[in-house]
Structure 1
Amino acid sequence: MGVKAKKRDLKLNHEGEEEETGKNALPKTGGQAKEHIEQLQRLQTKDPEFFEFLKEHDKELLEFNDEDIDEDADDDAEDADGDVEDADLHENYQSYKPVVSEKEETPSKKAITTEMVDSWCHSIEENGKLVALRSLMKAFRTACHYGDDNGDDISTKFSTMSSTVFNKIMLFVLSKMDGILRKFLKLPSTGGKKEIIQELMTTKKWKSFNHVVKSYLGNALHILNQMTDTEMISFTLRRLKYSSIFLVAFPSLQRKYIKVALHFWGTGSGALPVTSFLFLRDLCIRLGSDCLDECYKGMYKAYVLNCQFVNATKLQHIQFLGNCVIELFRVDLSVAYQHAFLFIRQLAMILREALNTRTKEAFRKVYEWKYINCLELWTGAVCAYGSEVDLKPLAYPLAQIISGVARLVPTARYFPLRLRCIKMLNRVAASIGTFIPVSMLLLDMLEMKELNRPPTGGIGKAVDLRTILKVSKPTLKTRAFQEACVFSVIEELAVHLSQWSYSVSFFELSFIPVVRLRSFSKSTKVQRFQKEIKQLIRQVEANAEFTNERRNSVSFLPNDPVVSSFLEVWIFSFALLRFFMLPVPLIFISALDQPLLMSMLLVT
């Protein structure tokens, strides 16, 4: 037999002993090491030539001693004693079965058993043993990395476990680890602000437990990235939310958690987006400025990525994302203003470029869903916090941008986009109580030739103006599109005028709209349109007559501050009567016949 063949057989013999040891899940003992050394001595006596070859070319094979024995092989052996009791497993983890490679099916380290986990949990809860906590954290790390294709990690003490043990470890750690850590660190049982952790980080106790806290948060983050079931991810995030205060001490982990939560918030399904948002909101409340900027920027970016395309099914999800962003602003309105100002300024610069260059590429950047949905987002923010000092200054530049977008391309094909802009302006005006000239935008639409011609394209399909920004040329000639546009214009004009139906200047505000509505009623040959327009004219004129009668009896001047309270007493009296279900006097009934005033009063 040659030297190389002898060397291969010797290595195979050595590897075979290791494999046999791995199958029994026991470490190599001192006797086995001694036996291997004696084998090498016999080889030196029987075949000195081969021994000299090994000594020259493969010293590692000869340098084997008792120091290679795993010193941690018998650690925690006493934890295996105790009674075994079957526990009910949480249903969220029943379906999680880690993928184990063929290499991992042959364990080479100590297997974790149910008895060991029960013993650790009992020692932690009853006796508060730090040794048991560290052992449980090692097992938790093994569970979180179970099935990873990274090969055997020699730094870990355990390597195998059953699905029952996996469920027991995950549920115990995620459900109770926050309370255990708070108890060891003598923190409040729930809640807390970042100042508590910052003060704790200066103590000796933190130096003893910081690696345990970091191990818990880091391994939980790892398994979050590996999970695919939305219910399991939601359960894990809900439990980790209670420990989010500890992320103050680990800025790198904090950024990774924010990134993962933002991903689940923007792309998740079911209850996962809600759970992810609550996690981010709780993180911002507890950590404050440490994560507010990153969360605001990340959520806005995720919102923009999700609103590039809109259809009937996705519209609801986009509205939910926008409501989440607006709700997060409530945490700190001053910081929210700084970000909102920058993002609205970006929209203004895009619009300015389109107005200056007048190119198709510049127009396309404005007339796309991403841009319009961003306007919808900031409109919602201004409407939600219009009464707040921080965000109210944004109403004017936002209204200017929306008006510019509505007038950018004044063609009939962009009627849906213009109607969306007008709705946003009506919402802003109602929230801040400031007049915005919307009626001219609406009346210009009625005078376009596409709405005054007979429909030559047939009846056509029903048009959902909420999910489109631009219509095709054949659609312009259909009866369905004309009806949708005219009725939407009448509705939005009624909403605009009803906001000021109690104003002392309602007669002046409504004069030009009434004149142009009469002109459209005479020019159109569609009886349905004529009927709707005439009804709106009657309502506006009746409301103007009522406000004029009330205005003739007042004694203040137009520049008097009391003007703003015009008809407030009358409105309050009517609301009081309605609240107590008392009969309404006749003086009110004549005015209540007009839907414009009626709609305003019911809202008030």
Structure 2
Amino acid sequence: MGVKAKKRDLKLNHGDEEEETGRNALPKTQGQAKEHIEQLQRLQEKDPEFFEFLKEHDKELLEFDDEDVDEDADDGKEDAELNENDKNYEPEVSEEEEEKPYKKVITTELVDSWCHSIEENGKLAALRSLMKAFRTACHYGDDNGDDSSIKFSTMSSNVFNKIMLFVLSKMDGILRKFLKLPSSGGKKETIQELMTTKQWKSFNHIVKSYLGNALHILNQMTDTEMISFTLRRLKYSSVFLVAFPSLQRKFIKVALHFWGTGGGALPVTSFLFLRDLCIRLGSDCLDECYKGMYKAYVLNCQFVNATKLQHIQFLGNCVIELFRIDLSIAYQHAFIFIRQLAMILREALNTRTKEAFRKVYEWKYINCLELWTGAVCAYGSEIDFKPLAYPLTQIISGVARLVPTARYFPLRLRCIKMLNRIAASIGTFIPVSMLLLDMLEMKELNRPPTGGVGKAVDLRTILKVSKPTLKTRAFQEACVFSVIEQLADHLSQWSYSASFFELSFAPVVRLRSFAKSTKVQRFQKETRQLIRQVEANSEFTNERRKSICFLPNDPAVSSFLEDKKKLGTSPLSQYVSTLRQRSRQLTDSLSESSVLVGEHGSVFGKSGSDSEDEDTGGREGTSVFSSTWLPGSDSKTKHPEEKKSKKKKRKMEQQDKAAPRDEDVVEDLVLSSDEDDEPLNNSSAESEDDEDVKPVRKQAQKLKAPARGSKKKNRSPANKAKKRKTSR
């Protein structure tokens, strides 16, 4: 008999078994699985050559995993035990064998008896009954069709709450007691050793049912408090996911979604779940969590305003904190992502097209630089992360010099802040002063403001300013004060260095020339004050330098003025502290009247939501699951509160459309006009005329026209009556 004929017969036998199971509509049981494995073993003994041939050419016939059998395959075995041991079960009543079994209604007394049997007597039959009820609760409202394995049909909201609270609160301790594990904690090595025992084979389906059904209801919930409570309780059982890689990937995906888009305390709870999972499982899930969190961070930072800025900073801090678990693996991911940023910048430098410039000068790219700057500042002293400081510094410097025009002053200031942070964290000199002094010499800051006073400009929430804003007095003041603040911060980092006099000589010369050329007294005052502080700091270091006897290349240079540095007594350090206080006050005043810059609002929720996690941590969940919510069709619909809020928003929008436009709105239109269709090349950016302002002026004239006309032609009934009286 040939090999092909044997293979065909084996496939036909296997196909007959599948047809029989298809006709009966019954799942494969563990007995059939064992019979199939024994058949393959007999084949290996009788015809080893044919068995080896199948291994090489058709592995599907040989691969068979007991874990792939559905959890409902044990129902027959469990039902037999339940009918013998559990008195709460009623016998199934059926007229014919082909009819569906009787489905029982779950009551509170039944649930209480199960819970009592599990806690007091540790009965396995009661535990299995409770897990079936938990499965029914999690899948309540789903289209189960003619599934005969479900023994329970309906339940009230009180029963649902009781089952959910008991299972989520107690199941971790119950499983650990049955599996003889520590009451808390554990790592993947413990579960891997447990998986080889007979005890795990008898309980693994219960663990899988608990985690799988909990995952299902997480996808059905819409209330943030319920999701937070469920994730907080599942965190204690996260170590069991070592045995179920498919469930592990699904849990990571769901937690990442809640972390990036959730409101209230849900992002914090989701991050703590992911962090605990990475600590316990190690490298098995670190790669997936690093990639997923970075992707979620990029999706959330495409648009920025004053309120969403806090949410983006929170997400970045979470990513940096997760890197702490394993810096060697984090370095590999950081190197790849920083290299992608470098390739985007190289394309912009080589092609110098409008599309290539936009890929760099957008919030997504800048916020990624902010993220890696924070990571380098946090772990710059570590051996794993310190090599990333140099390429990141080169990228940030290239971005700052890419388009050196006044309209991109906010972006350049952000880049300079990043460079100052990196220099302070790793203790390495970075030439930042030239980038700042070049900004002071641009003609836009030396001309008188033709656009009037203008509104206060929040440089934290914009990357590019419009042409009308460029000519306002508020923008010029914000730029000059920011340049002086960053230059003072840069020089203060080296205010205790023995070479401070040489380092500050060129900046002082250029600051004096700016103070002479500018005609604005406020700028002259700020610049001369900085010059005086730099000169005083030079005298401070030169006096001490006279008494030293070591050479510049001596290692003792690092200990120069080390005691003064800890106290922060240099003139420049004290001056920088006053500048930071002034900047903080200005930021607070701007945040009170913040204006939306991006297209979307904050997804982080209301302020102060981080403290909700501490408040709800001590609860047992009674207030969380006390509502009449049941999973199913109702859970997928939107809450009435959301519907009411949407109706209110629509009414507000209609009122805004119907309300008359005043001159303040016109001023906002003029100040926020920023045409992105113009090229970003250096030559074209400076030689553009004011053509992009013309559409805005036309719009302003249209908005002003009805107001002017309304004064001339006021045809209200009261005015008509007045005219009639005067005519009489």
TM-score by length of 2: 0.64
Q: Which runs of 5+ in 1 are unaligned?
A: 80-86, 569-582, 585-604
CA positional deviation for 1:71:
19
The higher radius of gyration belongs to: 1
Deviations 1:515-536 (A, max 9, x none): 0000000000000000000000
CA positional deviation for 1:272:
0.0
* Distance change in 2, residues 1:16/1:159 (3 Å): farther
Asked if the contact 1:23/1:107 (under 8 Å) is kept, the reply is no
Structure 2 CA distance, aligned partners of 1:182 and 1:511? 69
Which position in structure 1 is the counterpart of 2:71? Answer: 71
Asked if the contact 1:107/1:160 (under 8 Å) is kept, the reply is no
Q: Which runs of 5+ in 2 are unaligned?
A: 563-694, 697-728
Deviations 1:541-569 (A, max 9, x none): 0101111111111000111111111111x
* Distance change in 2, residues 1:158/1:559 (3 Å): same
Deviations 1:265-323 (A, max 9, x none): 00000000000000000000000000000000000000000000101111000000000
Structure 2 CA distance, aligned partners of 1:44 and 1:340? 49
Structure 1 CA distance, aligned partners of 2:318 and 2:561? 37
Q: How does 1:394-405 map to 2 (within 5 A)?
A: 394-405=388-399
CA positional deviation for 1:151:
3.4
* Distance change in 2, residues 1:358/1:135 (3 Å): same
* Distance change in 2, residues 1:74/1:318 (3 Å): closer
Which position in structure 1 is the counterpart of 2:327? Answer: 333
CA positional deviation for 1:46:
60
Please, which moves more after superposition, 98-107 or 3-12?
Answer: 3-12
Please, which moves more after superposition, 91-100 or 117-126?
Answer: 91-100
CA positional deviation for 1:64:
36
Asked if the contact 1:416/1:466 (under 8 Å) is kept, the reply is yes
Asked if the contact 1:460/1:480 (under 8 Å) is kept, the reply is yes
Instruction: Give identity over the alignment, percent.
Output: 91
CA positional deviation for 1:159:
1.1
Asked if the contact 1:37/1:65 (under 8 Å) is kept, the reply is no
Asked if the contact 2:304/2:461 (under 8 Å) is kept, the reply is yes
**Structure 2 residue 18 is matched with structure 1 residue 24:** no
CA positional deviation for 1:115:
1.3
Please, which moves more after superposition, 526-535 or 69-78?
Answer: 69-78
SS at match of 2:456: coil
* Distance change in 2, residues 1:217/1:33 (3 Å): closer
SS at match of 2:325: coil
Q: Which residue, 353, 374, 382 being the options, matches 2:347?
A: 353
Structure 2 CA distance, aligned partners of 1:556 and 1:419? 38
Structure 1 CA distance, aligned partners of 2:3 and 2:120? 61
CA positional deviation for 1:153:
2.8
SS at match of 2:93: coil
CA positional deviation for 1:217:
0.1
Q: How does 1:3-402 map to 2 (within 5 A)?
A: 109-402=103-396
CA positional deviation for 1:387:
1.1
CA positional deviation for 1:57:
45
Structure 1 CA distance, aligned partners of 2:14 and 2:60? 12
Q: How does 1:423-572 map to 2 (within 5 A)?
A: 423-568=417-562
Asked if the contact 2:102/2:151 (under 8 Å) is kept, the reply is no
* Distance change in 2, residues 1:94/1:229 (3 Å): farther
Please, which moves more after superposition, 17-26 or 445-454?
Answer: 17-26
Structure 1 CA distance, aligned partners of 2:88 and 2:519? 66
CA positional deviation for 1:65:
36
Asked if the contact 1:447/1:520 (under 8 Å) is kept, the reply is yes
Deviations 1:34-84 (A, max 9, x none): 9999999999999999999999999999999999999999999999xxxxx
* Distance change in 2, residues 1:527/1:155 (3 Å): same
Asked if the contact 2:228/2:266 (under 8 Å) is kept, the reply is yes
Structure 1 CA distance, aligned partners of 2:71 and 2:531? 93
Asked if the contact 2:501/2:542 (under 8 Å) is kept, the reply is yes
TM-score by length of 1: 0.77
Deviations 1:183-242 (A, max 9, x none): 000000000000000000000000000000000000000000000000000000000000
Structure 2 CA distance, aligned partners of 1:3 and 1:354? 61
* Distance change in 2, residues 1:117/1:53 (3 Å): farther
Q: How many residues align?
A: 563
CA positional deviation for 1:150:
4.0
* Distance change in 2, residues 1:492/1:75 (3 Å): closer
CA positional deviation for 1:155:
1.5
Deviations 1:159-189 (A, max 9, x none): 1111111111000000000000000000000
Deviations 1:538-595 (A, max 9, x none): 0000101111111111000111111111111xxxxxxxxxxxxxx99xxxxxxxxxxx
Please, which moves more after superposition, 44-53 or 139-148?
Answer: 44-53
CA positional deviation for 1:127:
1.0
* Distance change in 2, residues 1:34/1:242 (3 Å): closer
Higher relative contact order (CA 8 A, sep 6+): 2
Deviations 1:353-394 (A, max 9, x none): 100111111100000000000000000000111111111111
* Distance change in 2, residues 1:64/1:191 (3 Å): closer
Asked if the contact 2:88/2:110 (under 8 Å) is kept, the reply is no
CA positional deviation for 1:262:
0.0
Asked if the contact 1:72/1:157 (under 8 Å) is kept, the reply is no
- Extract structure 1 runs of 4+ deviating beyond 4 A: 1-79, 87-108
CA positional deviation for 1:25:
24
CA positional deviation for 1:452:
0.3
CA positional deviation for 1:149:
3.4
SS at match of 2:81: coil
Deviations 1:91-132 (A, max 9, x none): 999999999999999996111111111111111111111111
Please, which moves more after superposition, 106-115 or 42-51?
Answer: 42-51
SS at match of 1:109: coil
Structure 1 CA distance, aligned partners of 2:65 and 2:242? 46
* Distance change in 2, residues 1:521/1:110 (3 Å): same
Asked if the contact 1:367/1:469 (under 8 Å) is kept, the reply is yes
SS at match of 1:111: coil
| RMSD, aligned α-carbons | 12.8
Structure 1 CA distance, aligned partners of 2:323 and 2:51? 76
Asked if the contact 1:25/1:108 (under 8 Å) is kept, the reply is no
Please, which moves more after superposition, 12-21 or 162-171?
Answer: 12-21
Asked if the contact 2:105/2:152 (under 8 Å) is kept, the reply is yes
Structure 2 CA distance, aligned partners of 1:264 and 1:461? 38
CA positional deviation for 1:405:
0.3
Structure 1 CA distance, aligned partners of 2:65 and 2:510? 102
* Distance change in 2, residues 1:519/1:24 (3 Å): same
Please, which moves more after superposition, 349-358 or 107-116?
Answer: 107-116
Asked if the contact 1:73/1:110 (under 8 Å) is kept, the reply is no
Structure 2 CA distance, aligned partners of 1:247 and 1:241? 11
Deviations 1:8-30 (A, max 9, x none): 99999999999999999999999
Structure 1 CA distance, aligned partners of 2:350 and 2:37? 87
Asked if the contact 1:26/1:110 (under 8 Å) is kept, the reply is no
* Distance change in 2, residues 1:61/1:541 (3 Å): closer
* Distance change in 2, residues 1:408/1:17 (3 Å): closer
* Distance change in 2, residues 1:308/1:259 (3 Å): same
Asked if the contact 2:101/2:151 (under 8 Å) is kept, the reply is no
Please, which moves more after superposition, 21-30 or 338-347?
Answer: 21-30
Please, which moves more after superposition, 12-21 or 418-427?
Answer: 12-21
